[in-house]
Chain A
């Protein structure tokens, strides 16, 4: 579904992405992990077209995304720090997204919207919401349009435990066979339940690119965190 071909991104002298080659297929749930500053968010921003690669290409359903924007109708994106226009109200934000995406109100997936009780904060401005609440709005929006590709950058950061469970439940229920999910997180046990493929980035390079089953086999460990540690430091 997404092919990343020798992708390079330089910021001045810093190599944010260094020859990244990845293929992600429909049905996969990708755990995109790596230390801070390893290039995860840059990679996601490249896929979204917010950042332009210095070299290389990204294909989305067989077509290059460079100089294209229509492909974004199939992407739901939950950003790391929910950056929203401050003065807009939650409801307005929702209406704008629905309107610009040209989606009928009845075609929206309102499960998270209801479970997170966003109806009650419809009239509040984004500025007045707490970080966690904003993240709830953010996740409800990402799932709302049933996108074929769902990208979640640190989805559980800032959420309270109850909300984390609601979000995980939603990920569980979502039909994964027809979509591709990409999740980044530092909390590995959050990913363990869903991930089918593990991609570990470090200093902009792909260090691990295995399916979860392969990773378990190679490392002889069943826990994700131990398996990764084993592959990175075979001792």
Chain B
């Protein structure tokens, strides 16, 4: 298993896309922290960029890599290696490279400028988010037969989680504003990993006052220990469930 993860990692690094991504995160994070005197504001800008860009990049990267490594997987499959191990190894290798790329790209500038716990938390949660997005993308591409359709669906998934989902929730809240929906909204947030991460980051930044009523409830819930455990646990589920479904499907898939 470790052998196969290693070969996937070598293959990913040879691809050089991941190096470009690391450089991109490095430049973004460096310039934001350098330009803004006020670190909280810099972190806020960084969060706004990261919350849109990281899911998109992670999903496209994971989806694209699945098709890029198609031949490689075919070669591995003609060897005495179980399918479960192959697809799990790919998922782990993609996760490691995305998390490392983010960790280094965002982390190095943060360390240079003397980062507080807020930015470290932001980096950590972004890494978890990128892995969850990769897991979702992998599931989407395994379900689709060809590359163009697969990547199209990945984009659609990103669009849904980043924009569409919020619109739906907004509409819901507007129409049912007479009812006490606050607790229900916390539950709804858990159904979208991007939203969950965004809320969790915002609360760390202490700008929840901007979010009005719901913000107060969020603050109360998410900053408690149970809230943190809830965020972490839900994110882990967002990684585990798509991965397990992917494995199940891949085991019985015609190649």
Interface positions of A (Cβ within 8 A of B):
45, 48-52, 69-73, 75, 77, 79, 83-88, 92-93, 96-97, 99-101
| A–B pairs, 26, beta carbons within 8 Å | A45-B255, A48-B77, A50-B78, A50-B254, A50-B255, A52-B252, A69-B80, A69-B81, A69-B82, A70-B80, A72-B79, A73-B80, A75-B78, A77-B78, A79-B78, A83-B74, A84-B75, A85-B69, A85-B72, A87-B11, A87-B14, A92-B10, A96-B7, A97-B75, A97-B79, A100-B79
Q: Which residues of B contact A72 (CB under 8 A)?
A: 78-81
9 closest cross-chain pairs (CB), A and B: A85-B72, A73-B80, A72-B80, A83-B71, A51-B254, A77-B78, A50-B255, A69-B82, A87-B14
**Cα distance, A165 to B100, chains bound together (Å):** 50
Interface of B is mostly: helix
B4 close to A (CB within 8 Å)? yes
CA distance A189 to B81 in the complex (A): 36
Which bucket holds chain B's interface residue count? 20 to 34
Count: A-B pairs, CB below 8 Å: 61
Interface status of B83 (Cβ within 8 A of chain A) = yes
Q: Which residues of chain A are near B83, meaning CB under 8 Å?
A: 69
Q: Which of B1-47 contact A (CB under 8 A)?
A: 3-4, 7, 10-11, 14-15
Given the known inter-chain contacts A69-B80, A99-B3, A101-B80, please indicate yes or no for A85 contacting B254, CB distance below 8 A.
no
Contact status A86-B71, CB under 8 Å: yes
Pairwise interchain contact B80-A85, C-beta atoms closer than 8 A: no
- A8 to B255 alpha-carbon distance, docked (Å): 17
